Amino acid sequence: MKFTLVHKSARSGARAGLLETVHGAIETPVFMPVGTLGAVKALTPELTAEQGAQIILSNTYHLFLRPGADLIARAGGLHKFMHWDKPILTDSGGFQVFSLAKLCKITQDGVEFRSPFDGGVKHKFTPELVVDIQRQLGSDIMMPLDVCSPHTAAKEKVAEDLRLTLDWEKRALEHFAQNQVQAFFGIVQGGLHEDLRQESAEYLRGLDFAGYAIGGVSVGEPEADLYRVAQYTAALLPPDKPRYLMGVGLPQNLQQCVPFGIDMFDAVLPTRLARHNTFFAPDGLENILNAKSAADFAPLVETCDCYACRHFSRAYIRHLAQAKEILAIILMTIHNIRYLVNLTRDLRRKILNDEI
């Protein structure tokens, strides 16, 4: 993988970059739609690509449990299995183990958990196994296993989790063994504490990661803390490597964080909100079930160029949503993804013109 810093804005920390992978190049800043189980929810891969998605994220934890990394490897890897030939980033499963699995038990070696399926079969993720799983999936960008502290945890606990995470990341990188096909990112943890973020960033800068993620945000903390931690941490990261803010987010989050020098974002929000009848609009989130849309023959957003806005009215989509028609979800998913893609494209254009 090769990252080129195309332009740094003269007005802020905002950057325009180019990330080249074996599955194609990605212009940054970029928003990555999430395909948790090997499918961006409610869309065919063609529909996802048509919205301008350059890379998607998929979840190691979910794919490990169902259908299993062995099966995906036998299918020829995740790209072939899901019919997506652009880049894929896989997370490490750390966040999901700690938020979704049952009976997590952390040891120095890794984390034991019980599957929510299969009658609670016991599994264990180690830093090395998580690398092996992602190698089986064949993603373009891999992430190391980390411990995700709750944002409400005491500082001592966050510090303890961080040190274990740093040890795991070093082990994972050694196990990974650099190669020309897959790239490996580090994850900066440390919760809401600037000194811990600094300790984390300094340690990881000493290791040869292809990019750096900021984890442990967008986990329920106040928005002001998200911005503070993202800005503080981004400034600690090497300028010649891509920076990825995990699990973020909403249009305003992207607008706010790009000037901090963030290059990559992912979130389940555009797809999840669509399944809850909610779409992005210039003034914020709107729910299509609102009565005011009942006889409104305008599109979801007048200025939007997405397929849904070009061909369908609010009245139609509301009718479908009321009747729980799947097409309502499809159309709002298309709109929400396109909205974030257009937003990042617009931000990139402004960066290149030193407008932000």
Tell me: is residue 189 an annotated ligand-binding position: yes
The smaller minimum CB distance to a copy of itself, of residues 193 and 319, is found at 319
The smaller minimum CB distance to a copy of itself, of residues 227 and 307, is found at 307
Backbone angles phi, psi at 315, to 5 degrees: -60, -40
The smaller minimum CB distance to a copy of itself, of residues 103 and 323, is found at 323
CB of 103 to a copy of itself, least distance (A): 22
CB of 84 to a copy of itself, least distance (A): 10
CB of 105 to a copy of itself, least distance (A): 26
Active site residue 263: no
Tell me: is residue 249 an annotated ligand-binding position: no
CB of 322 to a copy of itself, least distance (A): 7
Give the span between the Cα atoms of 319 and 310, in whole angstroms: 17
Where do contacts with a copy of itself occur on this chain (CB under 8 A)? 37-39, 41-45, 47, 66-67, 71, 74-75, 81-83, 294-295, 297, 307, 311-313, 315-316, 318-320, 322-323, 325-327, 329-331
- Active-site residue (options: 91, 140, 161, 263): 91
- Active-site residue (options: 225, 266, 305, 354): 266
Tell me: is residue 9 an annotated ligand-binding position: no
CB of 340 to a copy of itself, least distance (A): 20
Active site residue 118: no
Tell me: is residue 91 an annotated ligand-binding position: yes
Tell me: is residue 216 an annotated ligand-binding position: yes
Tell me: is residue 225 an annotated ligand-binding position: no
Tell me: is residue 118 an annotated ligand-binding position: no
* Cα radius of gyration (the chain): 20
The smaller minimum CB distance to a copy of itself, of residues 297 and 354, is found at 297
The smaller minimum CB distance to a copy of itself, of residues 214 and 308, is found at 308
CB of 118 to a copy of itself, least distance (A): 12
Q: How far is CA 333 from CA 26, 29, 308, in A?
A: 21, 21, 9
The side-by-side arrangement of strands in the sheet containing 2-8 is 2-8, 15-21, 24-28
Q: How far is CA 183 from CA 38, 195, 243, 294, in A?
A: 19, 28, 13, 48
The smaller minimum CB distance to a copy of itself, of residues 262 and 306, is found at 306
**Could you tell me which residues are annotated as the binding site?**
91-95, 146, 189, 216, 304, 306, 309, 335
> What residues are labeled active site?
91, 266
